[in-house]
Structure 1
Amino acid sequence: MKILLAEDDVRLGKLISHMLEKEFYLVDWVRNGKDAYDQSVFVGYDVIILDWMLPKEDGLSVCKRLREKRICSGILFVTAKDANENIVSGLDAGADDYIVKPFEFNELLARIRAISRRKEKPLEEVVALHDYTLNLHTHEFKRQNFIIELTRKEYQLLELLMRNQNQIMTREVLFEKLWGYDGEVSDNALDALVKLVRKKIDVPGSPSLIQNVRGIGYKVRTMYV
């Protein structure tokens, strides 16, 4: 799942980003409302965690403009404003849910999961292909019901490919989603990651699940011939 966090408190932003990444979510973090709006329109996220009080443009305005733009990402307000009129304003602006600071992290995770279930195209619980299954809730990857241990980046790569199994994921898209626009990684980082994943998941002597599309990117092999 791809999440945008809009939070100007550096300490809290780092903490939430770190905790979400530990749960295998792909996270982009911005610190003002203008960047939150621009990123949301340009990238497209499953869930946007939006602080109410942001510099350059407040969260309420961002939420209204995103809904006017027909952006259908789930929106979760995170704020210290707990007055009833604030909650009503946030929900009327188009937010899907509202959580008040301070909060327990497990509550934040539960609200993210609830939002994903309520969207028009909720995330599948399990993505299956051939003998492989990927559980998007437990983050378990299995081959013939045997669990294969993956690092966070390895899991994220497989989630991107298996959730988009009918299309080619370009190198540019994979780099952006796995490392972000500002990720300082070498050009061969993606190829090295694919090589590590193949070593873990492929059956010796059989074609690799991950197929290289020369000059374009990667996709999962939907048919074996």
Structure 2
Amino acid sequence: MLASAYLAGLGTGAGLIVAIGAQNAFVLRQGLQRLHVGAVVLVCVLADVALIALGVAGMGLAVKQQPGLLQVLRFAGAAFLASYGVLAARRAWRGESGLRPADATAGRQGRTVLACLGFTLLNPHVYLDTVVLLGSLSTHYLGGVQWSFAAGAGTASLLWFTALGYGARLLLPVFRSPVAWRVFDVLVALLMWGLATLLLLRPMA
């Protein structure tokens, strides 16, 4: 039972995490730049593990009963994503190479961690996926087995963000070209603006 719960959590967690999104785009960019990758991966994994644990501990219902909080996160997240999209568009317009940070503040770990927290915690869907959905699914397992399910979901987060952050360097030969960075930043800008629009237009469940 423990093994099956763990594998179920691993598969479900992977299905939710391995998707194109703002957080993954940010982790990928940091990996390509090789800037504070360990800190970024750690923040993403710890945040996921904490939220999954809250869900398994029964906080999913509390989150669903706080629509006002989700609405605040919805608008704050949309503003954050739109702003980051503007920054990405500006980088693409200026032709800034991601392999050479454009200013001294780009290399500050504290600023990078704060940005990572923004991508992670200002997205209301993160709470719905981890606290509500994974928390609800964990109720299929009783007698402490639900924590094996949580461990599987947490492992999926660890494996994915580690692979994304540190595996990004395999793409470095492509991104040595300024044109590749311009294309990447254009796509990032479009992704951020698209996600911000969806947050504004789509009501929270």
TM-score, normalization by structure 1: 0.28
Q: Which has the higher strand share?
A: 1
Q: Determine which structure has the larger helix proportion and give its number.
A: 2
Structure possessing the higher relative contact order (Cα contacts under 8 Å, 6 or more residues apart): 2
TM-score by length of 2: 0.30
